Amino acid sequence: MSTKSRILYTKPSITEREVEYATDAAANGWGAHCYDYINRFEAAFRSHLGVKHAIATSSCTGALHMGLAALGVGPGDEVILADTNWIASTAPITYLGATPVFVDVDPVSWCINPANARAAITPRTKAIIAVHIYGNLCNLDDLMDLGREYGIPVIEDAAEAIGSEWHGARAGSIGAFGTFSFHGTKTVTTGEGGMFVTNDDDLYEKVLTLSNHGRARGQTKQFWPDKVGFKYKMSNIQAAIGCAQMERIDDLIARKRTIFAAYRQLLGGMNGLTLNPEPEGTINGYWMPTAVFASNTGVTRERLQEAFAAENIDARVFFWPLSSLPPFTAKPENTVAYDLPGRAINLPSYHDLTEGEIERVCAVLKGMQS
Ligand SMILES: *Cc1c(COP(=O)(O)O)cnc(C)c1O
């Protein structure tokens, strides 16, 4: 049993400011003021991202559910996404009675491979979800071209991509709509929470109505929904924490990048190990630094987990292919998605991680090949 202090893999960065705003919301944010922090949080997020519209939600899952519903996704439809993902990105497809189509990922970005997405298009394809995994960007040029060619909307699940930029545009601002998560593990947190963003006025109005239990904003009759909508709202207290985080967002992103740079520097000389890529013209927000060992190193997930556990470090496994999980049907032909988790590990990256802790993590990785 290690006597070394525990290194967690994520935890939020909370200062006096978050506590002060949340306290103010709890004490005063009621009645006429019950939306003050929500409105402020949405405005701050719009401005950070450079988008026209933003709707705060209780989760990213809820934001995706409403966005897909607004696009008309329903029974008989197919939605294409990468096999390498967390279930939250695909569950809303199932909620709507549509079918997720899992395609293989690119070996370098670990994100959806546009060629595989193209090959999976059928007359039933209703949308493509581009998930920027661990902060790494999907190839948005190829995906947006593909979407235009077939008239299929490309959606960005940018929950892991706060701080990531594709040729000058922030992740989440490019697709038909973007979604974000403010779960406690994410770069910006409200505890639980999410955001729907879009530049499309029509889509915004549809999601706004859906998000308000189907009540259109022009409806003057009280308690009069025009359709059955959803209840995925963020509370004013959560939004208060979000407002404080948005005032610190540049620092929160910078810290993630500094932590990654430290990993890269300490691990740079290691043969057979790759970390998250940052291709020319892009910026990676590095939500989750991830180490992938080459097949010929013989380093396995099991050995990595054992070595980190022995050092009292909370490192997490790379996402299993969604198609390998019990609710779905296996697609081992997605060879990259099936191969990656066997030789990869997520590294700790919370904002308060110290240099000494980063060195402890790197020492474990360096010890794998000796
Ligand atoms: C965290 C995450 C989600 C889920 O977010 P919730 O707010 O927990 O619903 C969805 N997609 C991706 C890519 C995530 O990383």
Quick one: which atom of ligand 1 is closest to the CA of 287? Answer: 15
185 C-alpha to center of ligand 1: Å?
10
The CATH number assigned to the domain holding 222 equals: 3.40.640.10
Task: Please check whether residues 239 and 269 belong to one and the same domain.
Answer: no
Give the pLDDT confidence of 90-142 residue by residue, as tens digits.
999 999 999 999 999 999 999 999 999 999 999 999 999 999 999 999 999 99
What pLDDT does 2 receive? 59
What pLDDT does 9 receive? 92
7 C-alpha to center of ligand 1: Å?
23
What pLDDT does 269 receive? 82
Q: Beta strands of the chain (E only): which ranges?
A: 53-57, 78-82, 99-103, 125-131, 154-157, 165-166, 169-170, 178-181, 194-198, 273-274, 282-283, 290-293, 316-317, 344-346
Roughly how many angstroms between the first and final C-alpha of the chain, as a whole number? 22
How far is Cα 276 from Cα 186, in angstroms, rounded to an integer?
Answer: 17
Task: Please check whether residues 334 and 186 belong to one and the same domain.
Answer: no
Last residue of a domain, one of 247, 270, 286: 247
Confidence at 369, pLDDT banded by 50, 70, 90? confident
26 C-alpha to center of ligand 1: Å?
26
What pLDDT does 178 receive? 98
In terms of DSSP H, where are the helices of 212-343? 236-247, 249-267, 301-310, 335-339
Q: Is the CB of 189 under 6 A from ligand 1?
A: no
Q: Is the CB of 59 under 6 A from ligand 1?
A: yes
For a mutational test of ligand 1's pocket, the pick from 86, 94, 109, i.e. the residue with the most ligand atoms closer than 8 A to its C-beta, is: 86
What pLDDT does 1 receive? 52
Dihedral in degrees, nearest 10, Cα atoms 200, 249, 89, 167:
60
Give the chain's domain count: 2
* 142 assigned to some structural domain: yes
Give the pLDDT confidence of 204-230 residue by residue, as tens digits.
999 999 999 999 999 999 999 999 999
Last residue of a domain, one of 247, 275, 292: 247
Task: Please check whether residues 242 and 150 belong to one and the same domain.
Answer: yes
* 11 assigned to some structural domain: no
Q: Is the CB of 131 under 6 A from ligand 1?
A: yes
Give the pLDDT confidence of 319-328 residue by residue, as tens digits.
999 999 999 9
* 10 assigned to some structural domain: no
How large is the average pLDDT for residues 315-341? 98
Confidence at 158, pLDDT banded by 50, 70, 90? very high
How far is Cα 338 from Cα 357, in angstroms, rounded to an integer?
Answer: 31
What pLDDT does 238 receive? 98
* 58 assigned to some structural domain: yes
* 261 assigned to some structural domain: yes
How large is the average pLDDT for residues 281-298? 97
181 C-alpha to center of ligand 1: Å?
5
How large is the average pLDDT for residues 148-174? 98
Q: Is the CB of 138 under 6 A from ligand 1?
A: no
Q: How many other β-carbons are positioned within 10 Å of the β-carbon of residue 214? A: 15
Dihedral in degrees, nearest 10, Cα atoms 105, 107, 109, 110:
50
Task: Please check whether residues 76 and 66 belong to one and the same domain.
Answer: yes
Range of the domain at 350: 249-367
Task: Please check whether residues 241 and 113 belong to one and the same domain.
Answer: yes
Quick one: which atom of ligand 1 is closest to the CA of 194? Answer: 7
Last residue of a domain, one of 247, 282, 310: 247
How large is the average pLDDT for residues 223-252? 97
Using CA positions, which residue lies closest to atom 14 of ligand 1?
A: 159
Q: In angstroms, how far is CA 355 from the centroid of its own chain? A: 26
Left, alpha or beta for 213 (phi > 0: left; psi -120 to 50: alpha)? left
Task: Please check whether residues 334 and 192 belong to one and the same domain.
Answer: no
Largest CA distance in the chain: 72
Task: Please check whether residues 255 and 237 belong to one and the same domain.
Answer: no
Task: Please check whether residues 181 and 261 belong to one and the same domain.
Answer: no
Task: Please check whether residues 172 and 36 belong to one and the same domain.
Answer: yes
What pLDDT does 300 receive? 97
How far is Cα 150 from Cα 212, in angstroms, rounded to an integer?
Answer: 32
What pLDDT does 3 receive? 76
Tell me the whole-structure pTM to 2 decimals.
0.97
87 C-alpha to center of ligand 1: Å?
8
How large is the average pLDDT for residues 312-335? 97
* 127 assigned to some structural domain: yes
The CATH number assigned to the domain holding 342 equals: 3.90.1150.10
Task: Please check whether residues 52 and 198 belong to one and the same domain.
Answer: yes
Task: Please check whether residues 218 and 360 belong to one and the same domain.
Answer: no
* 356 assigned to some structural domain: yes
Using CA positions, which residue lies closest to atom 13 of ligand 1?
A: 159
273 pLDDT more than 80: yes
Task: Please check whether residues 176 and 82 belong to one and the same domain.
Answer: yes
How far is Cα 145 from Cα 213, in angstroms, rounded to an integer?
Answer: 35
* 1 assigned to some structural domain: no
Confidence at 337, pLDDT banded by 50, 70, 90? very high
Q: Is the CB of 238 under 6 A from ligand 1?
A: no
